[in-house]
Amino acid sequence: MRGPHNIWRLVRTGATFERTGAMGAILDAYDAPPLLRLAARVIGWPFQFLGFDGDPEMPPVPRALSALGPAYIKFGQILSTRPDVVGPDLAQQLRILQDKLPPFGPEAARAVIEADLGDKLETLYSEFSEPVAAASIAQVHRARLRDTGEDVAVKILRPNIERAFRKDIDAFYLAASLIESLSPASRRLRPSEVIRHFDGVVKSELDLRLEAASASEYAANTSGDGGFRLPKVHWGLSSKRVMTMGWADGLPLGDNAALDAAGINRAELGERVLTLFLKHALRDGFFHGDMHQGNLKVSAEGELLAYDFGIMGHIDEYTRRVYAEILYGFIRRDYQRVAEVHFEAGYVPADQDVDEFARALRAVGEPIFGMDATRISMGRLLSYLFEVTDRFGMQTRTELILLQRTMVVVEGVSRSLHPQINIWEVAKPVVQEYIAQSIGPRALARDLALTAKVMARFGPRLPGMVEKALIQQIAEPKAETLNRWPIRLVWGVGGVVLGVIAAAAIAGGL
């Protein structure tokens, strides 16, 4: 959908940013060069009258984004999870964005349901409420299933939201390319890559089947976690634009008075919130990426209920092991080991000095350990850690940024329930358990067994791969790379075979 409308949308955006004061705030935050400042003023200042006023009670940037509509609100919410891109101060401001928008009418909701589910609304639900929540992409209704009488939540995408987002995202791509052209220094922040990330997130949220799949996977992973429950996905009543889940009925975590009146042990609940998050991140590598009080309730039985699975975080097994070792090293105040883990993982370039890096990590950890238990923060530790690793040339890792942001949110929820919580004491057994299961002889045996399975799948092709490599070696004897890599391939295959034998021997002795 490239075209002149993108230019018009950018003019309207610049006018709104100028009118609300957001333009100056952003340019100052990034210490923008003169050429970029001039271009921004040219786009925004003469057309201020075309801009939206927004809510004057909000800070300038959230005010402008809220005034510009759903795509901008969602963009701001996603940027709030990327302090590496917008800086910690602006990220904090963006967290106040509330995407409570006017709901769309009941007839539009009915039309979406009947078109997507292929039946009359009254045939599917015996009761269907007015919207109970309306956000930038979808709204939620409370309903009752006609066949079972179960109370459910029905989430429905806004009509034509896909087209509206597509138009604005195209304008975002144009803005990113202009910024990169006018300000070469901005390229280190990779504006186009940020927009691609946003585009991918939005595409996922615009297909409610993917959110339902996330909820289903999350429920399967956590089915054995005591005191934790997720609403059930009703797949037969879900589609790309409609999702039906069990209703999460309980007390909101933000109402301490109600929790106390119900006899809920808030200290235990606060520790449970933190423990469960760490378990999900380390054990499963799949965690709720928006675990704030608005997405958590407590059932009458005292179970923690989570819902809204639009933002989920994923960490691969290797990264989890590295992350656990880093956390455990800080818990033990073994800064040399933390530094070595960063180098072994390739997070910090090999040309840096590991001892100097260890001293920099000590400067991060020691002040935190000197704090009172009520002020110790794992989220603050991770934030400081990212600052140090940036100075030593570490590349940004998006999955760890989301983890750090969620860790901060979860800590805030835990402290609101239990102000005296000691974050390290709660985290230590979770990290120790994960390390015991994931690092050592048993983990090695599992890794080698998995390697053997992969090699078994490719086994019939290995002779051909070796033969092809040797033929290339003979055909191009002067190519140094080809001289070496067949030998490496043979040694690699031999190493895997020996590894499989070793795994079998270890497994037999377990």
Could you write out the three-class secondary structure of 364-393? HHHHHHCCCHHHCCHHHHHHHHHHHHHHCC
| Amino acid at residue number 273 | V
Tell me what pLDDT residue 494 has.
Answer: 47
Residue 225, token pair as written in the block: 């976690």
pLDDT-wise least confident of 1-10, 55-64, 74-83, 317-326: 1-10
Give the residue from 319, 315, 276, 302 showing the smallest Cα distance to 413.
Answer: 276
Contact 190, 197 (CB under 8 A): no
pLDDT-wise least confident of 35-44, 163-172, 255-264, 495-504: 495-504
406 class by beta-carbon count within 10 Å (0-12 exposed, 13-18 middle, 19+ buried): buried
Residue 293, token pair as written in the block: 């009080």
Distance CA 262, CA 272 (A): 18
Tell me what pLDDT residue 504 has.
Answer: 45
Distance CA 264, CA 323 (A): 33
Distance CA 51, CA 45 (A): 10
Distance CA 245, CA 423 (A): 33
Q: Where along the chain do its domains lie?
A: 4-98+162-203, 105-158+207-247, 250-439, 442-509
Tell me what pLDDT residue 121 has.
Answer: 95
Contact 252, 297 (CB under 8 A): yes
Instruction: Tell me the CATH architecture of domain 105-158+207-247.
Output: 2-Layer Sandwich (3.30)
Residue 61 has pLDDT above 70, yes or no: yes
Catalytic residues: 290
Residue 72 has pLDDT above 70, yes or no: yes
What are the Cα distances from residue 266, in Å, to 101, 139, 407?
33, 31, 19
Query: Which of 132-146, 327-341, 479-493 ranks highest by mean pLDDT?
Result: 132-146
CA atoms within 13 A on the CB side of 172: 22
Phi then psi for residue 132, to 5 deg, are: -100, -15
Q: Say which DSSP state 157 is in.
A: E
Give the 3-state secondary structure of residue 171.
helix
Give the 3-state secondary structure of residue 396.
coil
The arrangement of strands across the sheet holding 138-145 comes to: 125-134, 138-145, 151-157, 242-246
**pLDDT band at 241, cuts 50/70/90?**
very high
Tell me what pLDDT residue 475 has.
Answer: 65
459-498 confidence digits (pLDDT tens):
677 777 777 777 776 666 554 444 454 445 444 444 444 4
Distance CA 488, CA 483 (A): 10
467 class by beta-carbon count within 10 Å (0-12 exposed, 13-18 middle, 19+ buried): exposed
- Quick one: average pLDDT of 45-74? 83
Q: Say which DSSP state 233 is in.
A: B
Sign of the Cα pseudo-torsion (117, 119, 123, 129, in order): positive
Model confidence, pTM: 0.74
Residue 113, token pair as written in the block: 């349901």
pLDDT-wise least confident of 22-31, 327-336, 364-373: 364-373
Residue, of 244 and 437, whose pLDDT is higher: 244
Query: Which of 23-27, 457-461, 463-467, 504-508 ranks highest by mean pLDDT?
Result: 23-27
Residue 458 has pLDDT above 80, yes or no: no
Q: Which residues pair with 143 in a beta bridge?
A: 128, 152
**pLDDT band at 100, cuts 50/70/90?**
low
